[in-house]
Structure 1
């Protein structure tokens, strides 16, 4: 979209008409304040700016407007064409400078180059945003399913297609929606999430589309809905399979042409919103069973992304565990040898959400030392709520029938091994925890073959 800011109606009409004939969408304004407001509300790919506009009609004053349109390229147009003014405009952040009267062919070339620059800047920003979101939002992993998922996000994010995100609870479906939004041209606008199953059925319409004062008991003032809040951005419909049947009809209408009516309103409003929906349910089965509308299903099913369960990508568990531990600790932190292997052996029915919760709990409760935080297998087992502490295979109690001394030795070996695991094999800290001297601990370890 091109924003044309000029106070001459004839120039506005001719220039906007010429640009529209080339297939461009153009918004026109007549002064600097209106230009700033229009850009703040709707954005623009390119700004064509006349420097001498109301209220000052001073080219120098117009220079101060240029930074307000960042990061869009600004093409300055003025009848006061001289080299010093052009240099000042470039220094203020203008991308190009055109003298009036503007040659139409020159304007065409400059606008096309500016639009191409804006597109390249968006692509670069989207790539950086996706890279950042992959690290910051939990889309980490080198497994084939995660590599494929990130590749699909890169491909669909720049489009306006609706997206359906499928996957078990706890896999990070909202994180996928945020990554799509962050890598899209709508990244500068809001991403608005709504849980379709958490809002009561009789309030969901008002929550989505808003209401007018007096439209129902308790409506003491006009209230915009989430659709309006998400205008030019993304609306994330979490657990769309829980949406009541009456709301499915109204959502279908909105998806068809972007039109909706707030509760109590007669006029039809419109909003440009991208829809990303998510569910852990089998929507195809819900359609077959009659609980979900088939036409809505196909409206939402523009592109389908499937988020893999954590059990389907065990190679990513260690990578995620280290990431969550780094975030949960305030200083140096690590896992004892064997702890990550133990984590990988777990089934993780709660997926990434469960893994993150376990690591955060273990990090909060594990003993801390001067050298940092060390997470042992016992800490992880306790965080997972297991009834017994897991013990290494090398330290098991002997079967009954052996002598008392054998049982005491085996128990001693077990306690030393567990303490070594908790402290990351730090002999000083292990000895302190067991109430031994460091030399005494080392002698016992030598006798038991634990060195």
Structure 2
């Protein structure tokens, strides 16, 4: 969408008409305050800004408006075409400069370049957001549970509080830890994970706190522990419920004052780390039966975050599946209608991890046609080991939960795919889907896709 801010009605009308004839969606305003309000309500892809507008009319005063439209590229327009003013506009953050009377062909070229720049900037932002981890899409979803979780992560991340992440296996607890770290003041320092149940009990202390040469058989040199490695950053204790009782005491001391003692050392050392712990176990039950220390439990649970299972958010399954398919497939790929029915009807006890594995397997094994890969229910059933149908046999599909849920899932998937294909250009996506732009935006708001 292009925001055209100009106080001349004739110029507004003719310029907007010309841009709309080129396929752009245009909103017009007549003064600086209205331009600010319009951009705050619905950020535009490109801003065409007249520098000499009410309430000040002076071109220099219009320069102060430019930063308000970041990060959209701003093309300034004025009848006062001089090099000094152009340089000032560029220094204030403008992307380009047009002198009035504006040449329509030049306007077309400049706007096309600005729209392309905005599209590339969105793609770069999306790629940065996807680079947090190899399973970053586990926090995707428009369900109320995931919306609330992402909001809590944003609020908790800047604080120094320890965080305890609870939830079933495969729901993305490590992704929550990574998101907390990336959004915290510690993001420039390392995030160091350790699976407390994967390290033998007699080696866990050395892994965490390090050891000195000769402190035990095989200790041929000093070795720093993960606590020292994570200093200034975040230590992620995965499956904290599996930690042996003896190590729980030593971890409690470290959480109390930040001091620890490497194996074989006499002197205490200190490290500044933020601790994020996670487990699929019921720690309160473990405290009750004596397998987990109560004082450690309360040290860890500064803030408790819970990752929901896919059973709690079935509406997110098609969206997640589409994201996993886009990443796994080489070229064009889609789900057939029966595959969408199968995805939404099936229970996923392994949660996001299981869903991702099924989609990746189906994408790797499904036959590729002239139009790319079309994954059917039969391919997904084979990928999960539930059925190996004979050639030509109908796939074993469970009945959908409801017709309304099936339609909603298909609608969400189609909108997501259209937005991806058009580089999140709402006008083009709406045209492809046979909707008005306003109608598409309303659907996106309702589904939480904005």
TM-score bracket, normalised by the shorter chain, equals 0.5 to 0.7
- Superposed, which structure 2 residues align to 1:400-411 within 5 Å? none
Q: CA deviation at 1:374?
A: 1.2
Name the residue aligned to 1:360: 360
Once residues 212 and 227 of structure 1 are traced to their aligned partners in structure 2, the CA distance between those partners, rounded to angstroms, is 15
Name the residue aligned to 2:337: 337
Name the residue aligned to 1:257: 257
Q: Which segments of 5 or more consecutive residues in structure 2 lack a partner in the other structure? A: 1-124, 398-450
Name the residue aligned to 1:111: none
Name the residue aligned to 2:121: none
Name the residue aligned to 1:318: 318
- Superposed, which structure 2 residues align to 1:286-297 within 5 Å? 286-297=286-297
TM-score w.r.t. length of structure 1: 0.57
Contact 2:137 2:323 in 1 (8 A): no
Once residues 219 and 138 of structure 1 are traced to their aligned partners in structure 2, the CA distance between those partners, rounded to angstroms, is 39
Once residues 154 and 394 of structure 2 are traced to their aligned partners in structure 1, the CA distance between those partners, rounded to angstroms, is 44
Contact 1:133 1:139 in 2 (8 A): no
State the SS of the aligned residue for 1:318: helix
Deviations 1:181-200 (A, max 9, x none): 01111111100000000000
Name the residue aligned to 1:377: 377
Once residues 208 and 234 of structure 1 are traced to their aligned partners in structure 2, the CA distance between those partners, rounded to angstroms, is 13
Name the residue aligned to 1:148: 148
Once residues 370 and 127 of structure 2 are traced to their aligned partners in structure 1, the CA distance between those partners, rounded to angstroms, is 37
Q: CA deviation at 1:391?
A: 2.9
Name the residue aligned to 2:351: 351
Structure having the higher Rg: 1
Once residues 324 and 138 of structure 2 are traced to their aligned partners in structure 1, the CA distance between those partners, rounded to angstroms, is 9
Indicate which of 391, 394, 412 corresponds to 2:394: 391
> Could you say if the C-alpha distance between residues 241 and 316 of structure 1 is closer, same or farther in structure 2, counting changes exceeding 3 Å?
same
Contact 1:169 1:351 in 2 (8 A): yes
Contact 2:378 2:396 in 1 (8 A): no
Q: CA deviation at 1:155?
A: 0.2
Contact 1:129 1:182 in 2 (8 A): no
TM-score w.r.t. length of structure 2: 0.58
Once residues 227 and 270 of structure 1 are traced to their aligned partners in structure 2, the CA distance between those partners, rounded to angstroms, is 9
Q: Indicate whether 1:269 and 2:272 are aligned.
A: no
State the SS of the aligned residue for 2:337: coil
Moved beyond 6 Å, runs of 4+: 126-132
State the SS of the aligned residue for 1:237: strand
Name the residue aligned to 1:205: 205
Once residues 304 and 132 of structure 1 are traced to their aligned partners in structure 2, the CA distance between those partners, rounded to angstroms, is 25
Name the residue aligned to 1:192: 192
- Superposed, which structure 2 residues align to 1:2-13 within 5 Å? none
Name the residue aligned to 2:170: 170
Contact 2:141 2:316 in 1 (8 A): yes
Q: CA deviation at 1:337?
A: 1.7
> Could you say if the C-alpha distance between residues 392 and 385 of structure 1 is closer, same or farther in structure 2, counting changes exceeding 3 Å?
closer
Tell me the C-alpha RMSD between the 2 structures.
2.3
Name the residue aligned to 2:69: none
> Could you say if the C-alpha distance between residues 331 and 129 of structure 1 is closer, same or farther in structure 2, counting changes exceeding 3 Å?
closer
Q: CA deviation at 1:147?
A: 0.2
Contact 2:136 2:175 in 1 (8 A): no
- Superposed, which structure 2 residues align to 1:233-252 within 5 Å? 233-252=233-252
> Could you say if the C-alpha distance between residues 277 and 127 of structure 1 is closer, same or farther in structure 2, counting changes exceeding 3 Å?
farther
Deviations 1:125-156 (A, max 9, x none): x9997787599442100000000000000000
Once residues 316 and 340 of structure 1 are traced to their aligned partners in structure 2, the CA distance between those partners, rounded to angstroms, is 12
Q: Indicate whether 1:327 and 2:295 are aligned.
A: no
Name the residue aligned to 2:76: none
Once residues 147 and 375 of structure 2 are traced to their aligned partners in structure 1, the CA distance between those partners, rounded to angstroms, is 29
State the SS of the aligned residue for 2:138: coil
Deviations 1:271-330 (A, max 9, x none): 000000000000000001001000000000000000000111001000000000001011
Once residues 127 and 320 of structure 1 are traced to their aligned partners in structure 2, the CA distance between those partners, rounded to angstroms, is 16
> Could you say if the C-alpha distance between residues 333 and 393 of structure 1 is closer, same or farther in structure 2, counting changes exceeding 3 Å?
closer
Deviations 1:42-82 (A, max 9, x none): xxxxxxxxxxxxxxxxxxxxxxxxxxxxxxxxxxxxxxxxx
State the SS of the aligned residue for 2:222: coil
Deviations 1:188-215 (A, max 9, x none): 1100000000000000000000000000
Contact 1:130 1:182 in 2 (8 A): no
> Could you say if the C-alpha distance between residues 393 and 325 of structure 1 is closer, same or farther in structure 2, counting changes exceeding 3 Å?
closer
Once residues 152 and 386 of structure 2 are traced to their aligned partners in structure 1, the CA distance between those partners, rounded to angstroms, is 38
State the SS of the aligned residue for 1:251: helix
Q: CA deviation at 1:387?
A: 3.1
